[in-house]
């Protein structure tokens, strides 16, 4: 199949020479026909093009790179900050001074301070087993950081495990006691204490000391899913009664009261006086169970053994042997796929003797491994300093050793993520060690000496680096920008370095000395563009040369020149070169996608790729297109034990051919490296989850980990599901901008009538955000450019209702007040409307002096039960990342944290979710994971149990099942059941 070669636009300034990547996109980069280039018909998305790449770069810089000269270094500093964050232990934060003389007192630095405190009535006295004192009402308006001490009732606390006592605040909007962090009990158990962050009603609560009652609390915690479901359908406590009947009448407790031997056999102590199975059952059935939040004791359990650090129990706790931490069964982040839509894979390597073992390096998803030839894959990285794999190599002399060079090098294009050096494994990926520092933070290739795994070369944006001690130390062989490095496996002292916008250099002594740039007919200087190198080996016939070592020939090929589409070859070590006819694998954004591969001992087989993939079976005399791969190609690994089998790394996963690359099929099931820009979830039944991906369409699932393409378009921004009706979905593909589906994503309509259109990249990416009015699916708000627009016919027509200061990039309705809505700009201005978004009713609720911090706002969250509670996040470095208002935007408070060691790291925040059961508890998505606070931003903790350390692009809550859903830029989607 012949290649369709699109015309390269001339430079707008009329000058000749190399255009930069950014200039190529800005002056009208051609679009590639994905079907013809790659053999894959993806419908109307049309593949990736220069405009998409520039919009991605705009998106990346706006949300992940503002306010700092070196985002990569700032990211590493934020990770170090996270690693140093102390996890809260009450004994480490004990207030000064002893027990208060009164029943309760407010103190600061051990000294009593005047504050409005009074004893109060418990609004839900039957909602917990563990009240340790009477509630105290705190009337402070100012005074955050003050300590409240409440003397404990000695008679009451006899039935509690004192070490578990924490302070709780009554949340009136949901009528539930919520745990307050930085609270606990004095060493002697005389008083409970809490560091105040807001006024309210406070009470100490602890876990029961009776092991049978504690066991019952654990059993109820394990059954929380059923209790929530039961409450949601209005059955009250029927499921709780069923649980009690099953456990006490038919299950574990049946007959135990009269059978001491059975109790002893379970490892449980005898029932205490006054507490037997009947009394226990009556206690449970007498609960005023707050739903959906549940018992206060459940919050204590989560505080004592939070899933992100594993179980920590006081040593004097009695834990029966049949208790297997049921509360941990459903805690932690869980991958939701997609298993079948894999993401951008930069490199793939194969075990030199075992064809079933393969490794793949994802653009920001770490290293993956398959032990069954690619049928199934497993992640081998989780918390490394960088998950962006730019180069990966396996040692031929010791296949348990691999080097993974981090940081994807795509100069001028984005998003691509920086690195932290080179990681090494000596056990096939089970564990990784960070090697010594190198001079590149974005790497392109790794080469390992064929007989000595300690000698390794890495090319990157900082040059060419060599280690002779297994990565402990590195020497800079070159300091120019190297797009590739090639080690001659037949003579390991011979090295070729490809220098971007310069040319090819050769060393014959392991990089100690370099010759002059290899010349004619090779392009040189800026005409060389992005260069890829590959080699094959063969023997010349014996009749020509009888000495075996003189018969060995290294067949060297270089891919470079205009759009990196010209192929050159040499059989004499680069002294002279020939050129293949035509252009092969050319693409203007060749730094983003580029492939050159040769079989080790078959120079007749040559692969050249860019958006599509071509091959030659006659040593470059002719080339033809191949069928079946995803667009954008990066690397091919050949099977040394099966001459016809090979695997290709693409933007859509790993593809396999069993016929020398003539045809390909996806071979990366469960390799979840999907880069998701967004995630959206239904609030009504049935369940629907979806998001926009990097170059793999806009996708959805109804529950399984196998997702489907909606056909809505390629690349793009948000995926928003109507909270009133799961059939209504809104997406913003970058090649169509705003589209609507009214049948769950099966068909789409473009709805741009009256909206500001996208400008020339990188000016704007068009519609930035959208919100649906609760209770009325016809009323929509959207933001784009400097306009807030409104529709009353579900987006068929739009009208501008407000002009913002800067670009309007976020809008939101209040969940419980259909008339209240907010809009935010990239300058940090927040606007409010109390008339369902109509024109003439928009204004800042605050005065100039009370505005929130300036910065690019990435999210607006409005309280689930309080339209005046507003939380916003920012993408900037070096400034607040979260701000909170409790009065509808009239006053704002920065919420980065005030407790030493428990502040948010300085990293862009991309989204925020307010907990529906505790408005003081927030979850914030950042570029290095999720963080949470339970005291409205006074102190923060990492919330990344089982979650990779990568960009969390968006975070949403599905209220009916109280579950967080996160989209990542490199590991697909995750969920966390709260």
Q: What SS3 string covers 698-742?
A: EEEECCCCCCEECCCCCCCCCEEECCCCCCCEEECCCCCCCEEEC
Instruction: Give the helix/strand (H/E) hosting 391.
Output: strand 389-394
Terminal-residue alpha carbon distance, the chain: 54
Claim: this prediction has a pTM higher than 0.85: yes
Establish how many alpha carbons lie within 13 A of residue 465's alpha carbon, considering only the half-sphere containing its beta carbon.
30
Element (H, E) at 538: strand 532-539
Handedness of CA 594, 531, 950, 472 (dihedral sign): positive
pLDDT of residue 240: 60
The stretch 953-977 carries a mean pLDDT of 95
The residue-averaged pLDDT of 74-89 equals: 84
Q: How far apart are CA 206 and CA 161, in angstroms?
A: 6
Here the tokens at position 830 are 């927040």
Pairing verdict, β 475-478 and 482-487: unpaired
- Answer whether 280's CB lies under 8 Å from 213's CB: yes
| In 395-502, beta strands by DSSP E | 402-406, 422-425, 433-434, 443-448, 456-460, 463-467, 475-478, 482-487, 495-499
Give the pLDDT score at 332: 81
Distances (CA, A) of 821 to 685, 730, 771, 773: 25, 19, 9, 9
CB under 8 A, 24+ apart: contacts of 365-371:
365/389, 365/672, 365/673, 365/948, 365/950, 365/970, 365/971, 366/948, 366/970, 366/971, 367/392, 367/402, 367/404, 367/423, 367/429, 367/432, 368/671, 368/673, 369/428, 369/429, 370/671
- Predicted confidence at residue 38, as pLDDT, reads 32
Cβ atoms < 10 Å from Cβ of 174: 19
- For residue 311, what pLDDT band results from cuts at 50, 70 and 90? very low
Report phi then psi at 614, rounded to 5.
Answer: -120, 160
| CA–CA distance, 735 with 617 (Å, rounded to integer) | 37
Could you tell me the pLDDT band of residue 848, with boundaries at 50, 70 and 90?
very high
Distance between CA atoms of 180 and 939, rounded to whole angstroms?
11
Alpha carbons 702 and 960: distance in angstroms, whole number: 15
Confidence of residue 511 (pLDDT cuts 50, 70, 90): very high
pLDDT at 945: 86
Phi, psi of 831 (to 5 degrees): -115, 150
Q: State yes or no: pLDDT of 650 exceeds 80.
A: yes
Alpha-carbon radius of gyration of the chain: 31
In this prediction, residue 321 carries a pLDDT of: 36
Contact 569, 555 (CB under 8 A): yes
In this predicted structure, which of 97-101, 651-655, 944-948 has the lowest mean pLDDT? 97-101
Buried b (16+ CB within 10 A) or exposed e, 647-658: bbbbbbbbbbbe
Q: Contact, 923 vs 909, CB < 8 A?
A: no
Query: Up-side HSE of residue 208: CA atoms within 13 Å toward CB?
Result: 18
At 242, give phi and psi (nearest 5°). Answer: -65, -40
Strands 665-666 and 787-791: unpaired
CA distance 193 to 184: 6
Q: Which helix (H) or strand (E) element contains residue 606?
A: strand 602-609
| Three-state secondary structure readout of 889-930 | CCCCEECCCCCCCCCCCCCCEEEEEEECCEEEEEEEEECCEE
| Cross-strand pairs, 969 | 675
The C-alpha atoms of residue 864 and residue 815 are separated, in whole angstroms, by 6
Report, as an integer, the average pLDDT of 165-176.
Answer: 92
Which helix or strand (DSSP H or E) is residue 265 part of? Answer: helix 260-265
- Dist CA 899 CA 905 (whole Å): 13
Rounded to whole angstroms, the Cα distance separating 161 from 163 reads: 6
Q: Give the tens place of pLDDT for each residue, 251-285.
A: 555 555 555 555 555 555 566 666 666 677 777 77
pLDDT band at 840 (very low <50, low <70, confident <90, very high): very high
Residues in Cβ contact with 554 at an 8 Å cutoff, skipping those fewer than 6 apart: 488, 490, 491, 494, 535, 536, 537, 571, 573
What is the Cα–Cα distance from 213 to 207, expressed in whole angstroms? 9
The residue among 157, 152, 158, 198 whose CA lies nearest residue 178 is: 198
pLDDT tens readout for residues 193-210: 999 988 999 999 999 988
Q: The tokens of 548 are what? A: 């075996």
Query: pLDDT tens for residues 875-906?
Result: 988 888 999 999 999 999 999 998 888 999 99
Classify 525 in phi/psi space as left (phi over 0), alpha (psi -120 to 50) or beta: left
Q: What does 183-245 look like in DSSP terms, one character per residue? A: EEE-TTSSEEEEE-SS-EEEEEE--BSSHHHHHHHHHHHHTHHHHHHHHHTT-TTHHHHHHHI
Q: Which among 928, 932, 937, 935 has a CA at the least distance from the CA of 964?
A: 932
As a whole number, mean pLDDT of residues 433-460 equals 97
Comparing 71-85, 140-154, 410-424, the range with the smallest average pLDDT is 140-154
Going by pLDDT thresholds of 50, 70 and 90, the confidence category of residue 237 is low
Q: Residue 613 has what pLDDT?
A: 97
Q: Which two tokens stand for residue 165?
A: 């006592």
């Amino acid at each position: 199949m012949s290649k369709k070669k699109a015309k390269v636009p001339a430079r707008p300034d009329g000058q000749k020479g190399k255009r930069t990547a950014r200039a190529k996109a800005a002056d009208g980069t051609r679009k590639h026909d994905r079907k013809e280039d790659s053999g894959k018909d993806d419908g109307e998305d049309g593949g990736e093009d220069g405009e998409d790449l520039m919009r991605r770069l705009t998106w990346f810089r706006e949300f992940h790179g503002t306010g700092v000269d070196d985002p990569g270094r700032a990211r590493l500093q934020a990770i170090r900050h996270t690693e140093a964050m102390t996890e809260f232990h009450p004994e480490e934060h004990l207030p000064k001074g002893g027990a208060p003389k009164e029943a309760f007192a407010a103190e600061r630095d051990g000294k009593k301070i005047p504050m409005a405190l009074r004893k109060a009535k418990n609004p839900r006295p039957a909602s917990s087993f563990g009240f340790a004192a009477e509630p105290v009402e705190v009337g402070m308006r100012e005074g955050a950081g003050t300590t409240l001490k409440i003397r404990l009732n000695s008679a009451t606390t006899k039935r509690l495990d004192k070490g578990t006592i924490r302070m709780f605040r009554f949340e009136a909007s949901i009528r539930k006691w919520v745990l307050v962090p930085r609270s606990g009990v004095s060493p002697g158990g005389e008083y409970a204490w809490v560091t105040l962050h807001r006024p309210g009603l406070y009470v100490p609560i602890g876990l029961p000391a009776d092991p049978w009652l504690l066991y019952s609390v654990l059993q109820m915690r394990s059954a929380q899913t059923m209790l929530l479901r039961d409450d949601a359908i209005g059955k009250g406590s029927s499921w709780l009664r069923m649980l009690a009947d099953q456990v006490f009448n038919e299950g574990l407790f049946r007959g135990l009261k009269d059978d001491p031997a059975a109790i002893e056999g379970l490892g449980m102590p005898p029932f205490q006086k006054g507490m037997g199975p009947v009394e226990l059952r009556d206690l449970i059935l007498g609960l005023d169970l707050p739903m959906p939040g549940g018992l206060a004791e459940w919050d204590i359990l989560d505080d004592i053994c939070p899933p992100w650090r594993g179980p920590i129990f006081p040593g004097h706790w009695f834990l029966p042997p049949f208790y297997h931490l049921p509360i941990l069964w459903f805690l932690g982040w869980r991958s939701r796929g997609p298993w079948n839509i894999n993401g951008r894979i930069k490199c793939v390597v194969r075990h030199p003797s075992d064809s079933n073992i393969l490794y793949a390096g994802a653009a920001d998803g770490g290293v993956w491994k398959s032990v069954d030839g690619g049928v199934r894959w497993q992640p081998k990285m989780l918390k490394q300093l960088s998950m962006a794999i730019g180069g990966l190599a396996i040692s031929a002399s010791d296949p348990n050793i691999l080097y993974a060079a981090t940081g994807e090098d795509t100069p001028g294009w984005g998003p691509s993520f920086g690195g932290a050096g080179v990681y090494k494994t000596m056990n096939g990926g089970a564990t990784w060690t960070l090697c010594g520092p190198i001079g590149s933070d974005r790497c392109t290739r790794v080469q390992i000496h064929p007989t000595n795994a300690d000698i390794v070369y890495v090319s990157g944006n900082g040059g060419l680096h060599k280690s002779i001690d297994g990565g402990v130390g590195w020497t800079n062989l070159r300091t120019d920008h190297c797009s590739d490095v090639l080690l001659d496996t037949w003579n390991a002292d011979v090295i070729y370095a490809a220098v971007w916008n310069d040319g090819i250099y050769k060393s014959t002594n392991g990089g100690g000395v370099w010759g002059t740039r290899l010349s004619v007919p090779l392009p040189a200087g800026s005409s060389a563009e992005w260069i890829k190198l590959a080699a094959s080996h063969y023997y010349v016939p014996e009749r020509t040369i009888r000495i075996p070592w003189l018969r060995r020939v290294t067949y060297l090929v270089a891919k470079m020149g205009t759009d990196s589409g010209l192929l050159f070859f040499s059989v004499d070590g680069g002294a002279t070169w020939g050129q293949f006819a035509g252009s092969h694998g050319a693409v203007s954004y060749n730094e983003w996608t580029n492939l050159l591969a040769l079989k080790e001992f078959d120079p007749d087989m040559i692969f050249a790729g860019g958006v599509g993939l071509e091959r030659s079976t006659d040593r470059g005399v002719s080339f033809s297109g191949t069928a079946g791969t995803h667009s954008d190609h990066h690397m091919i690994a050949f099977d040394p034990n099966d001459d016809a089998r090979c695997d290709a790394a693409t933007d859509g996963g790993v593809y396999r051919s069993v016929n020398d690359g003539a045809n390909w099929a996806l071979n990366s099931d469960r390799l979840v490296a999907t880069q998701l820009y967004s995630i959206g979830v239904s609030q009504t039944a049935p369940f629907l989850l979806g998001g926009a991906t990097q170059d793999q369409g806009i996708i959805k699932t109804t529950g399984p980990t196998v997702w489907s393409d909606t056909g809505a378009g390629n690349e793009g921004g948000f995926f928003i599901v109507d909270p009133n009706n799961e059939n209504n979905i809104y997406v913003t593909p970058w090649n169509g901008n705003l589209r609507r589906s009214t049948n769950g994503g099966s068909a789409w309509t473009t709805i741009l009538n009256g909206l500001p259109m996208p400008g020339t990249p990188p000016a704007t990416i068009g519609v930035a955000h959208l919100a649906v009015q609760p209770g009325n699916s016809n009323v929509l708000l959207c933001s784009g450019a400097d306009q807030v627009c409104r529709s009353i016919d579900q987006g068929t027509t739009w009208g501008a209702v407000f002009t913002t200061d800067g670009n309007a990039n976020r809008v939101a309705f209040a969940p419980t007040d259909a008339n209240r809505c907010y809009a935010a700009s990239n300058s940090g201005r927040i606007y409010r409307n109390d008339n369902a978004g109509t024109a003439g009713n928009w204004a800042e609720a605050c005065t100039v002096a009370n505005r929130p911090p300036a910065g690019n706002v990435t999210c607006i969250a409005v309280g689930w039960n309080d339209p005046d509670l507003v939380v916003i996040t920012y993408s900037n470095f070096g400034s607040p990342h979260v701000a909170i208002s409790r009065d509808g935007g009239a006053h704002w408070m920065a919420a980065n944290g005030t407790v030493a060691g428990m502040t948010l790291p300085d990293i862009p925040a991309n989204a925020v979710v307010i907990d529906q059961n505790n408005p003081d508890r927030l979850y914030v998505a950042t570029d290095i994971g999720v963080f949470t606070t339970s005291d409205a931003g006074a102190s923060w903790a990492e919330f990344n149990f089982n979650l990779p350390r990568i960009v969390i692009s968006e975070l949403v809550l599905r209220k009916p099942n109280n579950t967080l859903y996160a989209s990542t830029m490199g590991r697909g989607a995750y969920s966390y059941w709260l």
